C-alpha cells in the first residue's frame, strides 16, 4: 500500500491539491540527488533575478538584501555539506527556494515572480554547461600541449605509418603526434562554438509564454554574462539542443581518446614494443607476476560506451517531445553529468600518461626497414621519369613480388635487378628507396617531410603560447 501525505500544502505547488503526494511518487519524481550539482548556478541565477525584480519595483531594497543574504548563507551551507536536502521538495530549485522562504518569510516568497522552474532549470543548466565548456577547452589545450612536447622530443625519429593496420609508408613520430593535435584542436573549436550557442539567457521565458510582469530579461542576461536573451519563450522552455550538442562534442573527444588508447594498447604490446608506458600508469595481474597491463588506455577506450550512451539517451529523450517543457526533460541531467565526468577524467589522466610516455625509437626505426615500405616512392620515381602512374604501380608491384620471393627489401636489389622491371631506373633510384629519403620527399602541405613537420610544430607551439 502506498502511503499518502495528509495534504499537498507543504509543497510550493500544493495549493490546488487536496491529497498529499504518495511517497512512491515523491521518490520517483525527485531529482535532488543529482541536480544538487547545479546549486551555485541556481543561486547565481536567483540573485540576478532578484536584483532585476528590485530594480523594477517588484521587491523592496530590504527584501532584496534579505534574499541575497539568505541565498549566500544557503550556498555556504551546501558547499560545506551542512545543508539538509529534502527529497520531498523534488529538486534543487525548490529545496533552495523553500528553505529561503522558511528562513526569511514573505520576501523569499516573492522571489519566484516572473519566472518558472522551466526557464530556471534551463538557465541553471546553461550556466553549468558554459563552465564545463571552458574547463574542457582548458583540458584540451593541455593534451594538445602534450602531443606537441612529444613531437618536439622525437622530431627526426621515424616509424611506419599504417593503413589497414599494415605498414604503409614511413612517417615522422612527430607527424603522428601532430595528427592528434589536429583532432583535439577540432574538438576545441567545437566546444568554443557550442559555448556561443549556449550563451543566451532563457530566464523570463517563464513557464512557456513569457511573463506579464514588468521584468527585464536583458538586465538578468547581462548580470550573468550572457551574450543576450533567447528570442522565443516556447523554444526556450523546451530547448535542449545545447545539451545534445555539448554531449555530442564530448562523444567526439572520447572517440579521439579511444583511438589513441587503442594505439597505446597495441604499441605497448610485446608484439609491437613501440612505446613504454611508465609504471605509474600501469597495473599488474593478480595471478601472472610478469604482467604489466595498459589499464588506463583500456579503461578510457571502454568508457567511450558511457559517453556514446549519454548522447543516445539525450537524443532519444528529445525525439518526439512536443513543445514546450515536459517532465521527461528532467532526465537530461544525469547523462550530461556523466559525460562531463568521464571526458574530464579521461582527458586529465591521458595527458599525465603522455607526459611520461617514451617511444622505443630503435624498434620503431627497425620497423620502417621492412615490408617494402618505400614502394610508393619507387612508383613516384617512375612517374617523374614520365611513366604513367598506373603503369608505374604495376612495375613496382612486380618488383615487390620479386623481393618477397627473394626475401629481401627493394633497397637490397642491384640497379641491374631493378632495371629489369623498367629501363628508366638508374642508380639515383637508391635515394628514393631509403626510408629517410622517402619521408623527406613528402613535402606537400601537411606532409611528413622534416621541414613540414617542423613548421607544423612551430605553428602549434605558437598557437598554444609555448613560444
Ligand atoms: N526538476 C525539473 C527538471 O529538472 C525542474 C523543472 C520542473 N518543471 C515542472 N514544470 N515540473 O526538469
Q: Is the peptide bond before 324 cis (omega within 30 degrees of 0)?
A: yes
Q: How far is CA 218 from CA 55, 57, 278, 320, in A?
A: 13, 16, 53, 32
121: Cβ below 6 Å to ligand 1?
A: yes
164: Cβ below 6 Å to ligand 1?
A: no
Three-class SS of 305-361: HHHHHHHHHHHHHHCCCCCCCCHHHHHHHHHHHHHHHHHHHHHHHHHHHHHCCEECH
31: Cβ below 6 Å to ligand 1?
A: yes
91: Cβ below 6 Å to ligand 1?
A: yes
Active site residue 33: no
Distance 121 CA to ligand 1 centre (A): 7
Question: Catalytic pick from 164, 286, 414, 444?
Answer: 164
The DSSP 8-state label assigned to residue 321 in this structure reads P
Active site residue 346: no
- Residues whose CB is less than 8 angstroms from the CB of residue 169 and which lie 6 or more positions away in sequence, other chains included: 160, 161, 373, 374, 376, 438, 442
- Ligand 1 atom closest to 91 (CA): 1
Determine the angle formed by the axes of helices 450-463 and 117-153, rounding to 10 degrees. Answer: 140
Dist CA 142 CA 343 (whole Å):
13
Mean pLDDT by 10 residues, the chain (467 residues): 51 85 92 98 98 98 98 98 96 98 98 98 98 98 98 98 95 98 98 98 98 98 98 98 98 98 97 93 81 92 98 98 98 98 98 97 95 92 95 96 94 94 94 92 96 98 96
Dist CA 26 CA 14 (whole Å):
13
Q: By CB neighbour count within 10 A (0-12 exposed, 13-18 middle, 19+ buried), where does 28 fall?
A: exposed
Q: According to the model, what pLDDT value does residue 10 have?
A: 77
Distance 207 CA to ligand 1 centre (A): 10
- Ligand 1 atom closest to 325 (CA): 10
Q: According to the model, what pLDDT value does residue 415 have?
A: 95
- Ligand 1 atom closest to 35 (CA): 4
Determine the angle formed by the axes of helices 333-355 and 295-318, rounding to 10 degrees. Answer: 160
Backbone angles phi and psi of 6, in degrees to 5 = -65, -45
327: Cβ below 6 Å to ligand 1?
A: yes
Q: According to the model, what pLDDT value does residue 1 have?
A: 40
Dist CA 29 CA 98 (whole Å):
17
Residue 162 belongs to what H/E stretch?
strand 158-163
110: Cβ below 6 Å to ligand 1?
A: no
Candidate of 42, 118, 126, 243 to mutate for ligand 1, largest count of ligand atoms within 8 Å of Cβ: 118
Q: According to the model, what pLDDT value does residue 444 have?
A: 96
- Ligand 1 atom closest to 31 (CA): 1
How many CA atoms lie less than 13 Å away from 166 in the CB half-sphere?
Answer: 5
Dist CA 338 CA 407 (whole Å):
53
Candidate of 39, 45, 121 to mutate for ligand 1, largest count of ligand atoms within 8 Å of Cβ: 121
Dist CA 87 CA 337 (whole Å):
19
447 in Cβ contact with 381 (< 8 Å): no
53: Cβ below 6 Å to ligand 1?
A: no
Would you mind telling me the total number of residues written for the chain in this entry? 467
End-to-end CA distance of the chain: 70
For ligand 1, atom 11, name the residue with the nearest CA. Answer: 327
89: Cβ below 6 Å to ligand 1?
A: no
CA angle at 101 for the pair 100 and 102, rounded to the nearest 5°: 90
SS3 call for 172:
strand
Q: How far is CA 309 from CA 245, 302, 306, 411, in A?
A: 14, 12, 5, 50
Q: According to the model, what pLDDT value does residue 2 have?
A: 45
Dist CA 440 CA 431 (whole Å):
11
Residue recorded with cell 548563507: 73
Distance 325 CA to ligand 1 centre (A): 8
- Give the ranges where 30-116 is alpha helix by DSSP (H): 32-35, 39-55, 61-80, 92-104, 106-109
For ligand 1, atom 12, name the residue with the nearest CA. Answer: 330
Beta strand 275-276 with 358-359 is antiparallel
Dihedral of the CA atoms 184, 185, 189, 195 (nearest 10)?
Answer: 50
Question: Catalytic pick from 24, 72, 278, 285?
Answer: 285
Q: How far is CA 111 from CA 56, 311, 395, in A?
A: 13, 35, 82
The C-alpha cell at 453 is 613537420
DSSP 94-111: HHHHHHHHHHHTHHHHTT
Distance 383 CA to ligand 1 centre (A): 68
- Residues whose CB is less than 8 angstroms from the CB of residue 409 and which lie 6 or more positions away in sequence, other chains included: 369, 370, 372, 403
117: Cβ below 6 Å to ligand 1?
A: yes
Distance 327 CA to ligand 1 centre (A): 6
Residue recorded with cell 529534502: 86
Amino acid at each position: 500500500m502506498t502511503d499518502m501525505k495528509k495534504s499537498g500544502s507543504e509543497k510550493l505547488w500544493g495549493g490546488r491539491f487536496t491529497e498529499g503526494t504518495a511517497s512512491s511518487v515523491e521518490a520517483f519524481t525527485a531529482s535532488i540527488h543529482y541536480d544538487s550539482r547545479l546549486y551555485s548556478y541556481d543561486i547565481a541565477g536567483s540573485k540576478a533575478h532578484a536584483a532585476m525584480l528590485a530594480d523594477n519595483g517588484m521587491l523592496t531594497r530590504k527584501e532584496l538584501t534579505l534574499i541575497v543574504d539568505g541565498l549566500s548563507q544557503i550556498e555556504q551551507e551546501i558547499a560545506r555539506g551542512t545543508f539538509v536536502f529534502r527529497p520531498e521538495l523534488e529538486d534543487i530549485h525548490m529545496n533552495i527556494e523553500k528553505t529561503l522562504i522558511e528562513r526569511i518569510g514573505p520576501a523569499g516568497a516573492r522571489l519566484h515572480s516572473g519566472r518558472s522552474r522551466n526557464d530556471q532549470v534551463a538557465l541553471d543548466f546553461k550556466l553549468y554547461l558554459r563552465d564545463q565548456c571552458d574547463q574542457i577547452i582548458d583540458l584540451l589545450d593541455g593534451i594538445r600541449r602534450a602531443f606537441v612536447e612529444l613531437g618536439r622530443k622525437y622530431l627526426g625519429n621515424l616509424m611506419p605509418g599504417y593503413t589497414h593496420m599494415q605498414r604503409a609508408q614511413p612517417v615522422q613520430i612527430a607527424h603522428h603526434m601532430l595528427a592528434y593535435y589536429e583532432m583535439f584542436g577540432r574538438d576545441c573549436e567545437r566546444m568554443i562554438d557550442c559555448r556561443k550557442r549556449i550563451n543566451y539567457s532563457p530566464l523570463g521565458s517563464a513557464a512557456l509564454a513569457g511573463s506579464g510582469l514588468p521584468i527585464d530579461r536583458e538586465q538578468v542576461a547581462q548580470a550573468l554574462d550572457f551574450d543576450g536573451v533567447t528570442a522565443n519563450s516556447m523554444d526556450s522552455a523546451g530547448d535542449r539542443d545545447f545539451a545534445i550538442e555539448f554531449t555530442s562534442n564530448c562523444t567526439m573527444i572520447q572517440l579521439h581518446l579511444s583511438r589513441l588508447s587503442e594505439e597505446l594498447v597495441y604499441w605497448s604490446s610485446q608484439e609491437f614494443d613501440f612505446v613504454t608506458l611508465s609504471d605509474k600508469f600501469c597495473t599488474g595481474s593478480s595471478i601472472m607476476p610478469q604482467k604489466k597491463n595498459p589499464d588506463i588506455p583500456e579503461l578510457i577506450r571502454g568508457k567511450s560506451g558511457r559517453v556514446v550512451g549519454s548522447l543516445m539517451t539525450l537524443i532519444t529523450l528529445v525525439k518526439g517531445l512536443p513543445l514546450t517543457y515536459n517532465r521527461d526533460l528532467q532526465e537530461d541531467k544525469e547523462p550530461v553529468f556523466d559525460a562531463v565526468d568521464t571526458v574530464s577524467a579521461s582527458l586529465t589522466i591521458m595527458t599525465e600518461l603522455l607526459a611520461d610516455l617514451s617511444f622505443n625509437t630503435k624498434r620503431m626505426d627497425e620497423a620502417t626497414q621492412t615490408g617494402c615500405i618505400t614502394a610508393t616512392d619507387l612508383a613516384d620515381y617512375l612517374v617523374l621519369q614520365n611513366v604513367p602512374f598506373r603503369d608505374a604501380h604495376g612495375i613496382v608491384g612486380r618488383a615487390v613480388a620479386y623481393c618477397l620471393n627473394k626475401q629481401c627489401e627493394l633497397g637490397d636489389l642491384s640497379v641491374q635487378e631493378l632495371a629489369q622491371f623498367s629501363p628508366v631506373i638508374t642508380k639515383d633510384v637508391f635515394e628514393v628507396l631509403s626510408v629517410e629519403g622517402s619521408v623527406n620527399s613528402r613535402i606537400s602541405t601537411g606532409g611528413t617531410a622534416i621541414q613540414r613537420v617542423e613548421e607544423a610544430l612551430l605553428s602549434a607551439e605558437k598557437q598554444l603560447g609555448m613560444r
